[in-house]
Amino acid sequence: AQRVTQPEKLLSVFKGAPVELKCNYSYSGSPELFWYVQYSRQRLQLLLRHISRESIKGFTADLNKGETSFHLKKPFAQEEDSAMYYCALGTGGFKTIFGAGTRLFVKA
Write out the residues near another protein by the rule CB under 8 A. Answer: 9, 32, 34, 36, 43-46, 49, 86, 90, 92-96, 98-101
Nearer to another protein, 15 or 103 (CB): 103
**E-assigned strands of 1-108?**
3-5, 10-14, 19-21, 24-26, 32-38, 45-49, 60-61, 72-74, 83-90, 96-98, 102-107
Compute the distance between CA of residue 53 and CA of residue 34 in angstroms, rounded to an integer: 11
Q: What is the nearest approach in angstroms of another protein to the Cβ of residue 90?
A: 4
Nearer to another protein, 3 or 17 (CB): 3
Nearer to another protein, 17 or 46 (CB): 46
